[in-house]
Structure 1
Amino acid sequence: MDIVVNEDLQAYIDPLTAEEHEALERSLLAEGCRDALVLWGNVLVDGHNRYGICRKHGLPFQTVQNTRFQSIEDVHLWMIDQHLGRRSVSDFQRGVLALRKREIVAKRRTETPAAPREAALASPAELPAAGGSPPPERLDTREALAKAARVSSNQIVMIEKIRKQAAPEVVAAVKSGTISINAAAAVATLPAEEQVAAAAAGKDELKQAAKRAREARRKPRGEAATASQDTAEAAADSHDTLETLRQRVSILTAENRALREQVATLQQQLQARMGAVPESEDAASPF
């Protein structure tokens, strides 16, 4: 059988680094190709690096058919699950794979049962009989994605931001381990040309760019906090003014009450004095 290497499938998973490829080559030369290559019909699904090294050195290898694949989506889901379970895959790569899996699962759930599946990579005559694939688990929550990728929920959010907003140069930097997921997510919020320039300048500049991005996010929050504090202080001032006015009114009311009492007392005294005038004085009047 002539094995077909499909470029899209080969590129679907991030390639090995030069060091990883050299280590795999040394292992195959020393121990041989112990794991069988996985095929879908005559299309190579898993083992592209081993296949290339074995052909280069003339090493023997075995193949096995996966009869459960019904569509290219089945192949993609299987490839994703295989790599999610490998320790050598970085946190960022696992997060990206989990997000890809979510997209496939969501697409499948929107399809009607009668909707046709995607065309196969190889011709039907070259494919084995389909055995069916179990439905994948739901990945419609952040927690489910984090569990599938074996990362934290916050990391999933950052990885999704990097995937959507980061320039390719920044993505390459986080894939290579030049910067962390956290730093890459911060840099991804900057304009594209600034991201590219920072990536071109190297690790230190990327870290500085991440710092600038974080500070830019904190500034509006600081202004908002200041505005909130000003509002609170203004409210406090208004409250103090109101209390002062209330106290002033209370004092004036008390003073008014005291003045009324004084007036009433004076009136009573005046009436008392007027009532005490002798009648003889009236009789003695010449008028």
Structure 2
Amino acid sequence: MEAFKLHPVAELFPEMTEQQFEILKADIRANGCKESVVLYRGEVIDGRHRLRACRELKIEPQLADLDEDFDPWEFAISKNLCRRHLTTSQRAVIAAELAKLKRGDNQHAQHRQNCRTTSEAAKALNVSERTVRAAKQVADKGSPELQHAVKTGEMSVHRAASIARTTPPADQATAAKQGTDQTDQAFDEDAATDRLYDRLRSELHRWPVDRRHVAAEHVQLILDEYPPAQGGRS
């Protein structure tokens, strides 16, 4: 079977877990590969896991070429957001990477609607600009372990950004492990953080400009009532 390179946009999206891949592989074994692997200029833009499963099962996959009139970045984003259950944090990481990519980085530049601003990337991935900025902080200042925890959906990007800002690099791996142990997967911490931030910002803007520092002091008094949890979530 011919080997194909991955298109850069395909690399933005996290790989399936081994459990997810085995489920896909079992389905292809039982029912065949019903969805084509999509190529753009000879590189895989959609279907890398189907291609891997077919290779391991020694099944010839169906291949399809994306029309050059399509934007490959928009195509891949649409496919993955519709099909995969990505957390807010995972989408923010992808948006941050998308905003970082520049025209002329590779031969696909004329089809990439970049340089995307943070706002445009956030809109494309359906996340807030603030969450994308948090993802950028993790990418710039976070340890590999901290970045991995966010990319795999084990830790919220806002929590990881806080660790990246306040924890020495040598201690971030331990902090990442403790943070993932405390994560409640049923609670969307990033979405809740954005709602809290927007509400606080809205309320602070109701105050006269020369009195907002007083409002901020009141907020701090409220925060002081909720000290950091020791050894678990409060």
TM-score by length of 2: 0.63
Secondary structure at 1:44's aligned position in 2? strand
What's 1:195 paired with? 172
CA distance 1:147–1:197, shift in 2 (3 Å): same
**Structure number with larger C-alpha Rg:** 1
Instruction: Work out whether residues 38 and 44 of structure 2, in 8 Å CA contact, stay in contact via their aligned partners in 1.
Output: yes
1:98-151 per-position Cα deviation (integer Å, ceiling 9, x unaligned): 2232233xx33xx7xxxxx8447xxxxxxxxxxx84x73874253x33322212
1:30-81 per-position Cα deviation (integer Å, ceiling 9, x unaligned): 32211111123443332121112112223342111124189xxx65564345
What's 1:103 paired with? 100
**Counterpart AA for 1:95:** A
Secondary structure at 1:29's aligned position in 2? helix
Give the count of matched residue pairs: 186
Whether 2:38 is the aligned partner of 1:38: answer yes
> Which structure is richer in relative contact order (CA contacts within 8 A, separation 6 or more)?
2
Instruction: Work out whether residues 77 and 125 of structure 2, in 8 Å CA contact, stay in contact via their aligned partners in 1.
Output: no
What's 2:127 paired with? 151
Distance 2:121 2:48 in 1: 27
The alpha-carbon deviation at position 7 of structure 1 amounts to 5.9
CA distance 1:201–1:91, shift in 2 (3 Å): closer
Whether 2:70 is the aligned partner of 1:94: answer no
Instruction: Work out whether residues 33 and 61 of structure 1, in 8 Å CA contact, stay in contact via their aligned partners in 2.
Output: yes
Secondary structure at 2:39's aligned position in 1? strand
What's 1:17 paired with? 17
CA distance 1:153–1:97, shift in 2 (3 Å): same
CA distance 1:86–1:99, shift in 2 (3 Å): farther
1:181 to 143, 146, 157: 157
What's 1:5 paired with? 4
CA distance 1:49–1:99, shift in 2 (3 Å): same
What's 1:282 paired with? none
Bigger helix share:
1
CA RMSD of aligned residues (A): 3.7
Q: Which runs of 5+ in 1 are unaligned?
A: 112-116, 121-131, 208-220, 226-287
Secondary structure at 2:64's aligned position in 1? strand
Distance 1:52 1:138 in 2: 32
The alpha-carbon deviation at position 181 of structure 1 amounts to 2.1
Instruction: Work out whether residues 36 and 61 of structure 1, in 8 Å CA contact, stay in contact via their aligned partners in 2.
Output: yes
1:183-233 per-position Cα deviation (integer Å, ceiling 9, x unaligned): 1111111210110232356735899xxxxxxxxxxxxx9xx96xxxxxxxx
**Map of 1:63-212 to 2, 5 A cutoff?**
63-68=63-68, 75=72, 78-104=75-101, 107-108=102-103, 118-119=106-107, 133=111, 136=113, 139-142=116-119, 144-189=120-165, 190-199=167-176, 203-204=180-181
Instruction: Work out whether residues 138 and 160 of structure 2, in 8 Å CA contact, stay in contact via their aligned partners in 1.
Output: yes
CA distance 1:180–1:202, shift in 2 (3 Å): closer
TM-score by length of 1: 0.53
Distance 1:25 1:67 in 2: 28
The alpha-carbon deviation at position 16 of structure 1 amounts to 0.9
CA distance 1:170–1:161, shift in 2 (3 Å): same
Q: Which runs of 5+ in 2 are unaligned?
A: 185-212, 218-234
CA distance 1:153–1:45, shift in 2 (3 Å): closer
